[in-house]
Amino acid sequence: MKLDVLASDGNARRARLSLPHGLVETPAFMPVGTLGAVKGLSPVDLETAGASVMLSNLYHLSVRPGIEVIESLGGIHEFTGWRRPILTDSGGYQVFSLANLRHVGSEGVTFRNHLDGAELRLTPESVVESQERIGVDIAMALDECPPWPVSLEAATESLDRTHKWAIRSRQAWQEKDTTLFGIVQGSTFPDLRQRAAEELTQLDFGGYAIGGVSVGEPTRERRAVVEWTAPALPTGKPRYLMGVGTPMDIVHAVQHGIDLFDCVLPSRNARHGMLFTRKGLVRIKNARYRDDSRPVDEDCSCSVCQRVSRALLHHLVRSGELTGAVLATQHNVRFYLDFVAHLREAIASGTLTGFAASVAASYPDDSSFSESPATPGSTASKS
């Protein structure tokens, strides 16, 4: 993997990641295909929308269909039909979201999986090996994602465990085609975040992620974690903010030097009739759209906005028609991919401050439409 910084605007940077399955222009948004596909979208749909990298989840793929099956079918790219780069989360978020189905020990995590209760054991070594076996471009080290709120004592204990796992993950990494990222934890405690960043940097991972955010903490604290942590990460390696976000969360993080993002927000909110536009959120179920002939976003060039009216989407979503969710997802994913493309242009032209102000005007309270964090015990994925 190679990172080339092409332009900067303050701490924000426009860069290019060279990975085995293609180039990723950053800042980049990774659509979440937990099970190997974004719900409602084909690999061709993702390519057409402009996605350069997709995120999947190792825990879920290990449960079904299994690492052996994916490997026997030629690896994750052949299995999914997605030919561009793939990042897999390690399952660390499931340590949080499946709290009543797992046991965390010094060696790793033992789950009673959410499908049939069969035992699944994840260790730092097995997680790295599995991701290498299926041929992902970017692999995440096994970590423990603590809930919020959490005591300083519990957060420290969790961070100690995550650091020991990071050392073992780094030792297991073969450093061939798959790049391994370390994950900075530490909840909302500045000293812990600083310590974690320093310790991980010494291990010389291929890239670094900020994890353990967007798990219920207020927006102010979530953004403070980014402000503390991003400057402590190496400038020559990619930086990834996991599971975030809203348009303003992304702008804020980019302004502090973050390169990569993922979030279920565009696809999950689409299924609930919440559509992103350049002028703000459209709740398409509202009665006022029943006879609205305009496209969802008059400034959007996606195929949905070129062919489909708000009235039709209102009708389909209100009726529970599957096509409504698919069309809404197509639009939202395209919005996010266009959004980060505009961020790249703004950095390159030195106009990021003005772009950020326009986003803030369209989304003054973006916390009102963000997805709720998964309740421990749910099967949600928030890679």
- Given the DSSP bridges, would you call strands 102-104 and 179-184 parallel, antiparallel or unpaired? unpaired
**Do residues 310 and 293 make contact, with C-beta atoms less than 8 angstroms apart?**
yes
- In angstroms, the CA 302 to CA 378 distance is 33
What pLDDT is recorded for position 383?
Answer: 34
Using CA atoms of 336, 342, 347, 349 in order, give the dihedral in degrees to the nearest 10: 180
For 1-383, give the CATH class.
alpha beta
pTM of the model: 0.95
φ, ψ of residue 378 in degrees (nearest 5) = -80, 170
What pLDDT is recorded for position 9?
Answer: 98
**Do residues 119 and 110 make contact, with C-beta atoms less than 8 angstroms apart?**
yes
Alpha carbon separation from 152 to 5, 155, 157 (Å, rounded): 37, 5, 9
- In angstroms, the CA 114 to CA 101 distance is 7
383 residues of the chain, pLDDT tens digit each: 999 999 999 999 999 999 999 999 999 999 999 999 999 999 999 999 999 999 999 999 999 999 999 999 999 999 999 999 999 999 888 877 888 888 999 999 999 988 899 999 999 999 999 999 999 999 999 999 999 999 999 999 999 999 999 999 999 999 889 999 999 999 999 999 999 999 999 999 999 999 999 999 999 999 999 999 999 999 999 999 999 999 999 999 999 999 999 999 999 999 999 999 999 999 999 999 999 999 999 999 999 999 999 999 999 999 999 999 999 999 999 999 999 999 999 999 999 999 999 999 999 876 556 544 454 444 444 43
What pLDDT is recorded for position 374?
Answer: 52
- In angstroms, the CA 94 to CA 378 distance is 9
**What is the DSSP secondary structure assignment for residue 371, as one 8-state letter?**
P
Interaxial angle between packed helices 219-229 and 247-255, expressed in degrees from 0 to 180 and rounded to the nearest 10: 20
**Do residues 177 and 125 make contact, with C-beta atoms less than 8 angstroms apart?**
no
What pLDDT is recorded for position 92?
Answer: 82
What is the edge-to-edge ordering of all strands in the sheet holding 86-89?
28-30, 260-262, 239-241, 207-210, 179-184, 138-140, 86-89, 54-57
Tokens representing residue 379 in the block: 């099967």
- In angstroms, the CA 3 to CA 235 distance is 10
- In angstroms, the CA 225 to CA 262 distance is 17
Active site residues: 89, 262
What pLDDT is recorded for position 99?
Answer: 85
- In angstroms, the CA 196 to CA 210 distance is 10
* DSSP character string of 108-155: -EEEE-TTT--EEEE-HHHHHHHHHHHT-SEEE-------SS--HHHH
**Do residues 64 and 115 make contact, with C-beta atoms less than 8 angstroms apart?**
yes
What pLDDT is recorded for position 63?
Answer: 93
Q: Which amino acid is at 93?
A: Y
Alpha carbon separation from 356 to 26, 163, 260, 360, 381 (Å, rounded): 17, 35, 17, 6, 29
Please list, in sequence order, all residues whose beta carbon lies within 8 angstroms of the beta carbon of residue 289, skipping any fewer than 6 positions away: 282, 310, 311, 313, 314
Could you state, in order of their start, the residue ranges of all structural domains in the chain?
1-383
